[in-house]
Amino acid sequence: MRAQSSRPPQAAAPGSAEPAPTGCLLALLTGPPDHDAGFMAEMSALASADGLQVVGWISQDRLLPEPSTYFGRGKVEEIRAEMERVGVDLLLVGGELTAAQCSRLEDQIDGRVIDRTELILDIFAQRARSAEGRLQVEVAQLRWRIPRLRGLGTHLSRLGGGIGTRGPGETKLESDRRAIMRRLRVLEARLGPVALRRRTARLGRPYPQVALLGYTNAGKTTLLRRLAEDVPAGEDRLFATLDPLTRAVHLPSGHQILLTDTVGFVRDLPHTLVAAFRATLEEVRQADVWIKLFDGVGDPIDRQERAIDQVLTEIQAEDRPTLRVVTKADLTDVSGDADLIQISAQSGLGLSVLLDALDRAVAASWEEAEWLIPFRRGDLLAHLHRAARVVAEAHDEHGTMVRAAVTPAVRAYLEGELSRDA
């Protein structure tokens, strides 16, 4: 019986700081409508992001996985032979396997199987930096692991229930499971306060919030860096950014917004991951405006948009005013769709058009209201001028009567301050 799954060991190449990539065979179904050439390229990119090197691949043209071993019986044999031929004992599957499919497949190929979900979880685990990011990834990994715990338990289930099934194996499995559940409770208890701290930090001085949504490697961080100060450079690797990064951006109207770059998406982002990244994705749910950023040299735009929309549905985000933007226009021409704003964060092309459109989109999410601001709260008046559109202003002996268009968050902040001050 093989030990419970863990990352394949990676031997360090002599004289190099980077561990040598571990060779693997990629196997995938080509039948599902989604599994086109782009899907295959993405699998290879994900593999190399995780330090794996795809040394060969095998496909099976079927629409649905074979219930028992994911691939059909003959194909499994072919995979086993090919792994032997190319000398690898790791199989990367371009899809999501059930726990049972995974363990049966491992037994039949006599090697280790990693599916797409485990691969993505592993990349996230390596990239997470902030306390919150690490907690979220660990929760996702533990939730993923629970149904995959293997011990003598699988043995026992083959024997059937009844007398003799309460052996030491089952006890071990049960205690492993209990240990994981305990750890999950600890992690979830820690996550609450972390998320709350971040939320409070964000709401300290609210400005209209804009969230960047797009594939990993689309160019979100590079765009934020163009528009704001103190942003680290984007990187040519998948899931470079995991922790949300929020910066002030000044619009042509003179208003200020907060632009948030958050975790990138891929097709079929694993459910466990989306669920675990709820706190991070909360930034997206709270935003007043969304920018969907498409990679001009990536998958077809409708494909990228479907992947974004899928996550939005999963986190139950309600529709926002949205700008659809395609970047890397220095490399490609995607004109044709009048609805798309073309930019290049690299060359600066189209950025003024984007900022004007952003000004309009932000203003569209505002509502007008009126307040009396006492003279001693000049700071609130100054804040309104940066974070809202002031329509009218009049002074009397009590203070300044202001009429302005604001976002709900700015309004809530202002009214909170005024009532505390009263």
Footprint of ligand GTP on this chain (CB under 6 A)?
214, 216-222, 234-236, 238-241, 264, 327-328, 330-331, 344-346
For residue 419, give the 3-state DSSP assignment. helix
Q: Tell the smallest beta-carbon distance from residue 280 to Mg ion (Å).
A: 13
Select 269 or 363, whichever has its Cβ closest to ligand GTP. Answer: 269
Q: Tell the smallest beta-carbon distance from residue 421 to ligand GTP (Å).
A: 41
Select 65 or 214, whichever has its Cβ closest to ligand GTP. Answer: 214
Residue 244 binds which one of ligand GTP, Mg ion, none, with CB within 5 to 8 A depending on kind? none
Name the one range near Mg ion by CB under 5 A: 2-10, 94-102, 107-115, 218-226.
Answer: 218-226
Instruction: Give 161's contacts (C-beta < 8 A, 6+ positions apart).
Output: none
Angle at CA 159, nearest 5°, toward 79 and 157?
A: 65
Select 119 or 414, whichever has its Cβ closest to ligand GTP. Answer: 119
* Cα–Cα distance for residue pair 246/244, rounded to 1 Å: 6
Residue 274 binds which one of ligand GTP, Mg ion, none, with CB within 5 to 8 A depending on kind? none
Select 55 or 351, whichever has its Cβ closest to ligand GTP. Answer: 351
Residue 392 binds which one of ligand GTP, Mg ion, none, with CB within 5 to 8 A depending on kind? none
Element (H, E) at 210: strand 209-214
Residue 399 binds which one of ligand GTP, Mg ion, none, with CB within 5 to 8 A depending on kind? none
Cα R_g (the chain), whole angstroms = 26
Residue 108 binds which one of Mg ion, ligand GTP, none, with CB within 5 to 8 A depending on kind? none
Residue nearest to Mg ion (CB): 241
Look at residues 390, 387, 323, 316 and name the one whose alpha carbon lies nearest to residue 353: 323
For residue 47, give the 3-state DSSP assignment. helix
Select 136 or 221, whichever has its Cβ closest to Mg ion. Answer: 221
Name the one range near Mg ion by CB under 5 A: 156-164, 241-249, 250-258, 378-386.
Answer: 241-249
Name the one range near Mg ion by CB under 5 A: 87-95, 157-165, 216-224, 348-356.
Answer: 216-224
Q: Is the dihedral of CA 304, 118, 122, 286 positive or negative?
A: positive
Q: Where are the beta strands (DSSP E) in 284-419?
A: 289-295, 322-327, 341-342, 367-374, 389-395, 399-406
Sequence letter at residue 380: L
Q: Is the dihedral of CA 188, 192, 198, 202 positive or negative?
A: positive
Q: Tell the smallest beta-carbon distance from residue 305 to ligand GTP (Å).
A: 15
Select 22 or 217, whichever has its Cβ closest to ligand GTP. Answer: 217
Select 69 or 241, whichever has its Cβ closest to Mg ion. Answer: 241
DSSP line for 247-312: EEEE-TTS-EEEEEE---B-TT--HHHHHHTHHHHHHHHH-SEEEEEEETTSS-HHHHHHHHHHHH
**Residue 30, CB-side half-sphere exposure with 13 Å CA sphere:** 11
Q: Tell the smallest beta-carbon distance from residue 405 to ligand GTP (Å).
A: 31
240 near Mg ion, judged by CB under 5 A: yes
Q: Which two tokens stand for residue 389?
A: 């559109």
Residue 47 binds which one of Mg ion, ligand GTP, none, with CB within 5 to 8 A depending on kind? none
Q: Tell the smallest beta-carbon distance from residue 270 to ligand GTP (Å).
A: 16
Name the one range near Mg ion by CB under 5 A: 150-158, 217-225, 322-330, 362-370.
Answer: 217-225
For residue 45, give the 3-state DSSP assignment. helix
- What φ, ψ does residue 407 adopt, rounded to 5°? -80, 160
Can you tell me which of 22, 241, 280, 365 binds Mg ion, judged by CB under 5 A?
241
Q: Tell the smallest beta-carbon distance from residue 227 to ligand GTP (Å).
A: 12
Select 236 or 339, whichever has its Cβ closest to ligand GTP. Answer: 236
Residue 217 binds which one of Mg ion, ligand GTP, none, with CB within 5 to 8 A depending on kind? ligand GTP
Select 101 or 221, whichever has its Cβ closest to ligand GTP. Answer: 221
Angle at CA 180, nearest 5°, toward 175 and 183?
A: 125
Look at residues 91, 135, 83, 68 and name the one whose alpha carbon lies nearest to residue 280: 135
Rounded to the nearest angstrom, the gap between the alpha carbon of residue 422 and the centroid of all alpha carbons in its chain is 43
Residue 328 binds which one of Mg ion, ligand GTP, none, with CB within 5 to 8 A depending on kind? ligand GTP
Q: Is the dihedral of CA 387, 231, 227, 338 positive or negative?
A: negative
| Binding residues for Mg ion, total number by CB under 5 A | 3
221 near Mg ion, judged by CB under 5 A: yes
Select 62 or 247, whichever has its Cβ closest to ligand GTP. Answer: 247
Can you give the binding site for Mg ion, defined by CB under 5 A?
Answer: 221, 240-241
